[in-house]
Structure 1
Amino acid sequence: MTAGGGGLVASGALARSGGPTPARVLVYDHVGTLAADVRDAVEHHDPVPEIVDCRRPRALADFLTEQRFDVLVAGPGLDSRAGFERLRIIREELPSMPIVLAVANTAELDVRDVVRAGAVDLVEIPIPGEKLRETMDRALQLARRTAEVAGPGTAIEPVRPDSSIPKRVITIASASGGCGKTFLATNLAWFLTHHAKRRVCIIDLDLQFGEVSASLRLRPRYTITDLIQHDNDDEAEFNAHFEEFCETHETGISVLAAPRDPTEAAAIRPADVGRVIDAARAHFDDVIVDTPPALADSVVVAYNRSDELFVMATLDIPSIRNMQVFLSTLERLHVSNDGIRLILNKAESDAGVEIRQVLKLFPQGFDATLPYAREVQRSINAGRPVLATNPSADISRQISNSMKRLLPADAQDRFTEYEAANRPGRFRMRNRKPKAVTA
């Protein structure tokens, strides 16, 4: 579950016992007094519903994962494209829990976003008392009817996140620019979010010229610099507020953006990078670190904290040579080679370098050999990973096949079904592309 790090506890408290059970309402509002207004609006009920106030995105995920609620009131803070995507995912996993959407300005909303979020009612803040009372009455009645359909005593067990795969840090690296690190980072993040229901954060560690935000068409309010400068001496506060400095893409991917000004990179120390990665690991299932083509101390910190390190090159002599030097340097820096995976990108049959010649230089083999594809540029211009915009393209299928091993077993089965559904037509003409090379 992207919004909450695994599956959510099912609602249905109104049908769990023979007597009247107080309904539980979760109110998300990161700035205002919506929870107090909702409490006043439902006080005439017998028994009076319990109102739980939530003000931070991470707390919302924790509440829904660990507890049960009958109604969710989604207020300011979730009335954005990223917020609607969170609500859509919540709705998919808890279809019996009505969602009431409370926003500051209904005129600015795209009705398609509201529909996809699955809200049963839409109200504009400030909400007149009588209007809010009627809205909450309808939502609670709907929750009760849904619970009655399930039948008294029906126990719906919480769906727990898959514990077979622990939290991971996956770093993308290369010794040459233009190898497609950001492209791979964003697509890997989408793959894990979509197919494994993992909560994923990309840290843009290219501190001078990071491109993650631009490639996803995000306009981040904060950057890694803002995070490091916030409560710098209080480790607990630093960790607690980590997610507030991330920007969430419409696909559910969270991004900690690179500094806006390249000169800010000099103020970020290796120790700061270590703290950031550790905090991200505490909040997310998978942390993907996008790095610059440099062996700076701050980047080496990321390498040493990584469970997997993807090293990329393109099919040209300078890039291949730099990969050799890069790998030997990592060995001298005592970076473990256990999790190193090689990726060859933009491989064209007429590049003048044969893949089999490259394999002789790297006997460990490549996890994937990805073709040059026009779909990639189109996806970047659209601000979405190519896996989302064109899942049946050769480039998408080869990325997915190389990343399938990162999924838990049950998700691999689901992915196989997804792949079959998105396979190109039997008689569709396709250009011949270089095939994936595995070790």
Structure 2
Amino acid sequence: MIYGLLTYLAASYFTEAVIYFLSCRLLGRKILWIKLLLTALAADIIVAPVVYLGLYGNIITGIPLPLLSYLLDMFVLTVNILFLYFVAERNFKRIMIAVPFAYFTFYQTYLITCFFIPYRYELGSMVNQCISITLLLLFTFFMGKLIVKTDAATFVDYCTRKKKHSIPAALTGLFLAGAPHYLIVLSMADMNYNTLLTMIGMTLLLSFTVFFRFLSKNVILEETEKAQAGIIAQQTAYIQNLEEIQKDVRVYRHDFKNMMSGMYLDVKEGKTEALEQYMQHMLNEFDHTIGAKIQTANQIMNIEIIELKSLLMAKLSQLDTLNIPWHLEVLYPVRACRMKIRDLLRCIGILTDNAMEAAKTAQGEVDIMITAQNDCVIFLVSNPVEGEVDMNRIWQKGWSTKGSGRGLGLYSYREITGQYPNVSCSTFCRGGRFCQELRIEG
């Protein structure tokens, strides 16, 4: 009994690690391996003895084995939900969606490994567990790649944002997590025990794939409609900007003869100083009414990522509404970024929103500079700053110069950029301005 328990305890450690790994993939989180291994160890110490001894009737007696097995699985799932909530992400909705699906994926993958075991599967068998765990780790690596490839984290985010989707998604995950027990009727079929477990695992994985694909298509359809609406809004704003430029040019052209007539009289009378002032006033008015709009339109044209262009136009419009002066400069055409578009938009949105708030308080200008050269895209967002900025604390969750209940923006920004090895961010103060640089390498 002790030998079997220790064998199962060792094997269960790897299964806990697999659940953590798959959950992080579904959450779109960076894998922190030290935290993964320690969390798996802590969870294993709790769940493994309960499951092993429970199944052998040493702890709970009088309960039918199928029901007992189901209750023990739900216990394991609950422990993993709690651990991952405190260790991986403090968002209960996302955890309740991602972890049950991760547990379901792990369970079916684990069952499929039984096909390769030459004799009846037993919890306490060292040979059984070695074969099963080795194959589980290999299959899990593949499943992790598949989850990233299908962008399952977007599906989790989508379900989390809308209450009408989050509850059904969480309930579906919980239902699927215990699905093998619903197919116990298959045990009546005349087939090898290991083959039975394999058939259950493959059937459920196939069902989950169809279910996930169906939901994903709906998500993609809705996201496509939103993207198209954003493109239309961006094009509308761009056309309005061009129409305003055209209107200003018409007005300017209409007044041009009157301007030239006034200048002619000044030249004829030798009023060079008045002529100089008049011309300077005319040039300043042109720059203010038409030149600035033409320059902005030219800068916006250099951004060829539609979603980024739409976001920046929305932020610039917001700055105009708040009467905050701004300057946008796009030095080279920006055609692509080696970063997921949703993460890029979240990062740029955080930086511009922070700059906007600071400029509103300090009454200064927001500068946005974007350059793309040699497969590297750099975003530099700066704003005026009052007093000293504690560079060591700005990244801490919940800390903000604006008071309590804030300080989540830069923390989230750091969390997002930390998932990409080709992305770096730096912060510095120079000339009374607070600068944030986001560098995305090719």
The alignment's TM-score, normalised by the length of structure 2, stands at: 0.25
By percentage of residues, which structure has more strand? Answer: 1
The alignment's TM-score, normalised by the length of structure 1, stands at: 0.26
By percentage of residues, which structure has more helix? Answer: 2
Higher Rg? 2
